[in-house]
Amino acid sequence: MPEIQLPASLQDVEAVRSVRTPARLDYTFTPGDATSRFLAGITQKKIIGQQANPDSRVYVPARGADPELGAATPIEVEVAQVGTVTSFCVVNLQFYGSGMEIPYTSALILLDGADLSIMHLIQEIPADQVRIGMRVEAVWRDDADIEPTLESIKWFRPTGEPDDVNVRIPGEIRGTGLGSWVGGVAPTELTVRNPRTGEGGTAEFGGEG
């Protein structure tokens, strides 16, 4: 690095090591069509899934495009308010802005009738007793506090039903080891069903789909 020669008038001035330049920008977000329809259901204490066509996956909450088809999801299907924990983690960290009492459990919950888990909190059970396969149900805020947000469901709690011990994450249902090499052979695109052409997938891999 070349030496920087300061003019005499600046030689005794303390060097600036950092500056703080706070910036604030305000945004007005719009949820879009699919999310608006989902949130409208929430205000009725209903959990509404959406599909692109009668044979495609039911997404909760739909985010605008079926991610396999790249298509809008006009079909609405009410799903159950009970589901199964497919996986979870116990959080011991006071996460910025969450205001949660620790430890708490954040879980992937596959609602009955939906094809993909939602992430939500598990409460009303000690964190160390939460299990994969546990059946849980939605606990809503008081009616007066229901707003168009998924947080109108405060958390999920155990239903007391027997565990679903065979539960798998959705991708695993459609083929354990789908993204790994079996017998030294790499999977290919045909390992999974192509939702547009119906090609690919086998009884072993993707048979359920």
Partner 1 sequence: MRDIAVISFAQTPARRSVPELNEVEMLMPAVHGALEQVDMTIDDIGFTCSGSTDYLAGTAFSFVSTLDSVGPWPPIQESHVEMDGAWALYEAWVKLQLGEIDTALVYAYAKSSPGDLPMVLTRQLDPITVGPLWADSVSLAALQARSLLDSGKATEADMAEVVARSRKDALGNPNAQLAWDRSAEDILAEEYHIAPLRKSDCAPITDGAAAIVLAAGDVARSKVKRPAWIRGIDHRVEPIHLGLRDLTISASTSIAAGKAGVADGKVDIAELHAPFSHQELILKEAIGLGDDTTINPSGGALAANAMMTAGLIRIGEVATRISNGEADRGVAHATSGPCLQQNLVTVLEGEN
Partner 2 sequence: MGKERVAVVGIGQTKHEATRGDVSVAGLLREAAGRALADAEMTWSDVDAVVIGKAPDFFEGVMMPELFLADALGCTGKPMFRVHTAGSVGGSTAIVASQLISAGIHERVLTVAFEKQSESEAMWALSLPIPFTPPLHAGAGGYFAPHVRSYIRRSKAPDHIGMLVALKDRQNGLKNPYAHLHEPDITFDSIKESMMLWDPIRYAETCPSSDGACALVLGSEKVADEAAAQGRQPAWIQGTAMRSEPTLSAERDTVLPLGGALCAADVYKQAGITNPRKDVDAVEMYVPFSWFEPMWLENLGFAEPGEGWKMTEAGATALDGDLPVNMSGGVLCTNPIGASGMLRFGEAAMQVRGTAGDHQVDSVRKAVGHAYGGGSQFFAMWVVGKDKP
Residues at the site binding partner 2, with contacts judged by CB under 8 A? 17-18, 23, 29, 31, 35, 39, 57-59, 61, 63, 67-68, 86-93, 95-98, 100, 103-104, 106-108, 115-116, 118-121, 127, 132, 148-151, 169-172, 174-184, 186-189, 191-193, 195, 206, 209
Q: What are phi and psi of 158, to 5 degrees?
A: -60, 145
Which one of partner 2, partner 1, none interacts with residue 197, CB within 5 to 8 A by kind?
Answer: partner 1
According to CB under 8 A, which one of 37, 39, 45, 64 is a site residue for partner 1?
64
Where does this chain touch partner 1 (CB under 8 A) — which range of 4-12, 92-100, 149-157, 185-193? 185-193
Binding track, positions 11-30, relative to partner 1; x by CB under 8 A: --------x-x-x-xxxxxx
Q: How far is the CB of 191 from partner 1 (least distance, A)?
A: 8
75 part of the interface to partner 1, by CB under 8 A:
no
According to CB under 8 A, which one of 9, 197, 198, 203 is a site residue for partner 1?
197
C-alpha of 180 from chain center? 23
Q: How far is the CB of 68 from partner 2 (least distance, A)?
A: 6
Which one of partner 1, partner 2, none interacts with residue 26, CB within 5 to 8 A by kind?
Answer: partner 1
65 part of the interface to partner 1, by CB under 8 A:
yes
Rounded to 5°, angle at Cα 87 from 195 and 46: 70
